[in-house]
Chain A
């Protein structure tokens, strides 16, 4: 069990090293990447099967107990996200080989993709704030390189702003960490949560509140929340197609995941954070969907939709409580799958018809690709019986239950505008008759990576009941800070100094 918790991190990093060793053979690199990410999927599923909705598993790295050591903790949410992350990398690698048929992506592509996977899994599993920072940096540095790898001037320009903004976010995160440590004396998430609860009960949670505000801003930048999302649409349409699909699926979601942990474990009962997030969530939804409405490039439209979807997630986090967090968990998984799927199809449109919608046309003759677009597009807009419907319903239901009718209204409007955007892409790229006849076919094998994800959306929509039950128990567990703390089995109170030691120190020359 313990080995299972560490292996989603170790396996991709090992795979990255292996892939580097085979750098002269792109085919073997791709094979290594496929096997490694398949391994992560298997590990994720076995963790998920072992934990279910209620279980927790822990590994104390190096055998050092918390607070001196770092613990990796997996609950159902972590296990599910690890599985999905592995699946996204697997799909992206398969997509590049099968759908785009690009020959050589450069010998750094697969190692970086695997390093990114390792970082993402690390961020999903760690129970320590500083360790989370380190995984964020692993993710960022891999993503910097993936973004700038092809070296086109547009990519380099996008990378500069991406790197700078993320550097500032990391600085805010780090200074927040410093303040948390200075005040709480620990960086283990659940322990900080307990100390915060005690401090705010005694009326002096103020200095920790300040630290949490810094963490909140840092996570909001990484998640792409209003008003700090400008870096996202400025960069996500520039990298190669497989890379931007992975970015779209995974990167901002790590920020959202950190926000979930912040509101439920690190700062339980900090109502002001949730009040701020209510406003941020609604504005993020609206700004994202309105931004999408006035774009004309496929990947730019989809980038803005990432932002509006992040808005739903943040709104769900803001509502708080087991039901809302359960809805967020469901939404998160649905969103990663659907968004990656859309970016994969968007990559095909971009590749064969050019980036701007006015030039794209006639893709409807590729029936399978049309299905692979329509399923996630309708799911994103929340049409039943696809997963997006249950996901949106969950958030709206939780909002109505908490009497946050503003969120309900904004969520419904955003859903409608999302449908508008998706129809816009569909009419322009698929429905409009082509100027020239499409000759080559786009068969089952070339479409299979996208169809696979589309099938997952359908299955998740049809099995919404069991999935929702599972996410309900995960949502309840996440709020049980004590369970996470008891797992570490170490008292946080640092005992009084031992007098002999003081004497010992002073007697030294």
Chain B
């Protein structure tokens, strides 16, 4: 149940991101990128089986991964991915701010046109 909910949410986020990324305004592109990374992070999170009532700690002397518990590895992966995504997004915001300032517009067609004239 939990996995289905998370998958649906991930799908909805990616769909919204795809819509935003087709837009013409820089802000939409950035929001799209943000939603995309969130959706993808959720999808990776869901790839390790989700069990709400098991603690992911193996007993002493276990030689293999016990089942019935959430796999901690994808969660570690997602943590890394969140940090990376956050950093890149912050950088993108700073860049867009500069572009918006220099072009006096956040319409990418206008920005591209100015780029061709420069």
Listed in ascending order, the chain A residues whose CB lies under 8 Å from chain B are: 68, 130, 133-134, 137, 140-141, 144-145, 148, 151, 153-154, 156-157, 159-160, 163-164, 167-168, 170-171, 174-175, 177-179, 181-182, 494-498, 500-502, 504-505, 508
Contact = CB atoms under 8 A, between A and B. Distances in A.
A178 B46 contact: yes
B26 to A, nearest CB: 7
Nearest to A182: B47
A160 B91 contact: no
Tell me what chain A mostly uses at the interface: helix, strand, loop, or mixed: helix
B99 interface: yes
B44 A68 contact: no
Given A164-B29, A182-B46, 4 more contacts: A130-B77, A153-B102, A178-B74, A181-B77
A505 B54 contact: yes
Contacts of B26: 160
Contacts of A170: 84, 88
B91 A501 contact: no
Contact of A168 (B33, B47, B59): B33
B96 interface: yes
Nearest to A130: B77
Contacts of A154: 115, 118
Contacts, number: 118
Contacts of B89: 167
Contact of A134 (B14, B40, B84): B84
Q: Looking at A134, A170, A175, A500, which has the most chain B CB atoms within 10 Å of its CB?
A: A175
Contacts of B84: 134, 137, 141, 170
15 contacts: A134-B84, A141-B91, A156-B99, A157-B111, A164-B92, A167-B33, A167-B36, A171-B37, A175-B40, A181-B44, A495-B65, A498-B64, A501-B58, A501-B59, A508-B55
A291 B46 CA distance: 43
Contacts of B115: 154, 157
A336 to B, nearest CB: 26
A160 B74 contact: no
Contacts of B8: none
Contact of B43 (A178, A497, A502): A178
Contacts of A502: 66, 68
Contacts of A141: 84, 87-88, 91
Contacts of A179: 43, 47
Contacts of A494: 64-65
A178 B40 contact: yes
Contacts of A505: 53-55, 68-69
Interface string B31-52: 0010011011101111110000
Contacts of B112: 157
B118 A153 contact: yes
A133 B41 CA distance: 13
A167 B77 contact: no
Contacts of A500: 59
B80 interface: yes
Contacts of B2: none
B88 A178 contact: no
Q: Looking at A140, A151, A181, which has the most chain B CB atoms within 10 Å of its CB?
A: A181
Nearest to A211: B47
Contacts of B37: 167, 171
Contact of A156 (B64, B74, B88, B102): B102
B12 interface: no
Given A157-B115, A178-B40, A179-B47, A504 B80 contact: no
B35 to A, nearest CB: 10
Interface string B100-118: 0011000000011001001
Nearest to B55: A505
Contacts of A498: 59, 62, 64, 66
4 smallest beta-carbon distances between A and B, as pairs: A182-B47, A178-B44, A495-B64, A178-B47
Nearest to B61: A498
B95 A160 contact: yes
